[in-house]
Amino acid sequence: MASEKPTMILLSKSDMSKEQISALSDSEAWKFIYSIRAVKVKDTRLQVCFTGFGASKKQELISFANANTFKVVSSVTKKLDFLCGGENAGPKKIEKSEAQGVQFLNEKQFIQLIETGEVPNAT
């Protein structure tokens, strides 16, 4: 018979009756609970980080990127696809992104990427 805690969880998270739940052992109840937990969906959007822009320009670019299904991040991570830099781009972010093979884009190249779907050549 399932103990109180898994019974309460199953009553609220499943369509099982009290009788069905009481027929389960604790182990079976917990297995069922873990099987119905929501699976975390991986975010497969392209990631972009903006650096070296003024606050209003950066916010404009973030809104543009979000509207075009990019995931905007604030630092250079292993999953970063593009670093978009302005005139005051931080040398540490550029250095770290280059070491990871992240493509550096300026604002014009980033907009071109969104508009055409083509990754601009590095210039």
pTM over 0.75: no
Q: What is the pLDDT of residue 38?
A: 67
Is the Cβ–Cβ distance between 100 and 78 less than 8 Å?
yes
What is the arrangement of strands in the sheet containing 82-85, beginning at the earlier edge strand? 71-73, 47-51, 82-85, 103-105
The CATH class that applies to domain 47-116 reads alpha beta
Residue-averaged pLDDT of the chain: 90
When pLDDT is averaged across residues 18-47 and rounded to a whole number, the result is 86
Amino acid at 98: E
Domain layout of the chain by residue ranges = 4-36, 47-116
pLDDT digits over 54-81, tens only? Answer: 999 999 999 999 999 999 999 998 999 9
